[in-house]
Amino acid sequence: MAAPDPLFNETLLLLGGAVLAAPIFRKLGLGTVLGYLAAGVVIGPILRLISDPEEVLHVSELGVVFLLFIIGLELKPSRLWQMRGDIFVLGTAQVVFSGLLLSGLAYLANIASWQGSVIAGFGLALSSTAFALQILADNGETNALYGRRAFSILLFQDLAIVPLLALVTILGSGPEASTSTILVDVGRAVVAIVAMIVAGRYLLTPMFQIIARTGAREVMLAAALLVVLGSAVAMQLVGLSMAMGAFLAGIMLAESSYRHELEADIEPFRGLLLAMFFMAVGLSLDLEAILSNLLLILAGVPLFMLAKGLVIFVLCRLWGSNKEDSLSIAALLPQGGEFGFVLFTTAVSAGLLSAQTSSLLIASVTLSMALTPLGAALVRRYLPDGRKPEEIEEDFEGAGADVLMVGFSRFGQIAAQILLAGGRDVTVIDDSPDRIRQASSFGFRIYFGDGARKEVLLAAGIERAKIVAVCTHRRDITDRIVDMIRTEFPEVKLFVRSYDRIHTISLRAREVAYEIRETLESGLVFGQKTLEALGKTEAEASEIVDDIRQRDEQRLQIQAAEGLSAGLHMLHTRPVRPEPLTKPKRTPAPQEAESAGQA
């Protein structure tokens, strides 16, 4: 028998470590991030079961890329513009003041020359986007005011990697090459960002419209991965981070009708690869470097985290955050980040840092990442009891509305008109590209997605919806959606369009909050108007219709208890005049014989 592939064995180890560690640490209240880190430390530095942690880290960095893409999907350009103060003022102040303070501490500690100390200080000023956002997600505070402000700082740090890499070139090669280098790097970055915006605005949505018409879900998934990875690689080629490229692609698709479907497709990859990233950080922890420089690290890591956290706290207070939010942001962002790895490695190539100093700094950054979840948990524990983070009103068009409507056929369109006229917002998802295009021409905003998928419903805001209206026009699809929602979201109030009488009884057995047969009311109104045309007064015709409606409801209750053949005495029947000239050639099936009373 052939020996197992080492790559296969390492994958099994990582998956097994994630499955074991995450639930245990979550149960202990320490969060999944610390669990993944601990699993990585055990598998790598302690047991040495994986030989090349750097390779795992490179692959798993895609988790950060997917994370930024999904965040971009949830941020409309108008919302991003509203955050410009936090991004460019607070973010700039954090990087500059933290970088200068940490550079001074590095120089006083005699880690490197003043040039190397500057790179070390500004490298440590960058925080880990993956760690911070995962902690926010675990605590359900991504949309809290302090969570948005923390994200703004992280976003500017991603942008700051370009001038910092240029700074490495300047300090390493001397001032004579500085001007041309900066202009070239900034020019390439600006051109790439403009090209990304233009492509996203005029190419991506038409591309997804064409792909959606094929009906092949795997092609849509492949297209989503192509957009994320393609934009990430394009930004990397011009010196920006891959995560920034994915974020821009997400921003460009934030107003697309395909946003929820894309988010649902990417989410599993994001979750798995991000878990791998945290484990890879644990795998790459250099225990020997830590032990050989134990005193320096034990003094240095808490010192730089405390200094950085203090700067962030003061800046947030000056920018208008309350004490609790400022403390939460300071506890969330004191660690070094994954971009520090890139900066330190580049500084070694430029001769600004020695290989030993770079290893020491990378070990310190990794250790600071491991300490961040603990620090954030301690701050949360000692904040005043009952503190509720201030929430920002979400501006995601459609998502999070009171009513989530699945299916936008004629029935759904009429129901939506009533809701909109009543001043209620409605999130609508449909899996027909043609229907989406037609609805858009009339001013409706609906999203492309399969309502039978849990991920799509989550992305569309089912957890915030007060009512889910299932208005699909096929019984099998309706049943599948209802069953899935009943299983996954049992507290959701379901209003469902019923296909016929049998379907109504079936839906009532599923305990939906409300159902109505698609033809019931239209048939009653039609009959009433016909009676009025034959001479009945409006009051007389209305009284007859009310009697029929009451009889229909009573008969439904009898049929639900005794079977479909029960309750026939509730029907108004009389022989057809004239009688048929010929007898039927076959005996109708019981269901067909009953069909006249099943409408």
Q: What tens digit of pLDDT does each residue of 110-152 get? A: 888 888 899 999 999 999 887 788 788 777 677 678 888 898 8
pLDDT tens per residue across span 580-599: 444 555 555 444 444 445 56
Band of the pLDDT at 32, cuts 50, 70, 90?
confident
For residues 214-239, give the mean pLDDT.
Answer: 81
Distance CA 235, CA 373 (A): 30
Tokens 């500017």 belong to 156
pLDDT tens per residue across span 58-109: 777 787 788 778 877 767 677 777 788 888 899 999 999 999 999 999 999 8
Q: Are 335 and 153 in contact (CB under 8 A)?
A: no
Asked if the model's pLDDT at residue 312 lies above 80, the reply is yes
Instruction: Provide the percentage of residues in the chain whose pLDDT is more than 70.
Output: 84
Per-residue confidence (pLDDT) for residue 386, from 0 to 100? 41
Per-residue confidence (pLDDT) for residue 122, from 0 to 100? 93
For residues 489-508, give the mean pLDDT.
Answer: 87
Q: 150, exposed or middle or buried, with CB in 10 Å at 0-12, 13-18, 19+? A: buried
118-122, 284-288, 397-401: least confidently modelled range: 397-401
For residues 376-380, give the mean pLDDT.
Answer: 82
Distance CA 420, CA 443 (A): 12
Tokens of 389: 């983070």
Distance CA 86, CA 70 (A): 20
Q: How many separate helices (H) and strands (E) can be counted in the chain?
A: 28, 6
The enclosing H or E element of 356 equals: helix 355-382
Q: Which residues contact 64 (CB under 8 A, 6 or more apart)?
A: 129, 130, 242, 243, 274, 277, 338
For residues 150-168, give the mean pLDDT.
Answer: 81
3-state helix, strand, coil in the chain (%, to 5): 70, 5, 25
Per-residue confidence (pLDDT) for residue 583, from 0 to 100? 52
Which of 523, 520, 472, 522 has its CA nearest to residue 494? 472
Q: Strands 514-517, 493-498: parallel, antiparallel or unpaired by DSSP?
A: parallel
* Single pTM value for the model: 0.59
Strand order in the sheet with 426-430: 446-448, 426-430, 403-406, 467-470, 493-498, 514-517
DSSP class of residue 515 equals E
The enclosing H or E element of 273 equals: helix 259-283
Asked if the model's pLDDT at residue 412 lies above 70, the reply is yes
Angle between helices 217-237 and 205-214 (to 10 degrees): 150
Which carries the bigger pLDDT value, residue 399 or residue 86?
86
Tokens 């239209």 belong to 522
Distance CA 272, CA 29 (A): 21
pLDDT tens per residue across span 468-495: 999 888 888 888 889 888 888 888 899 9
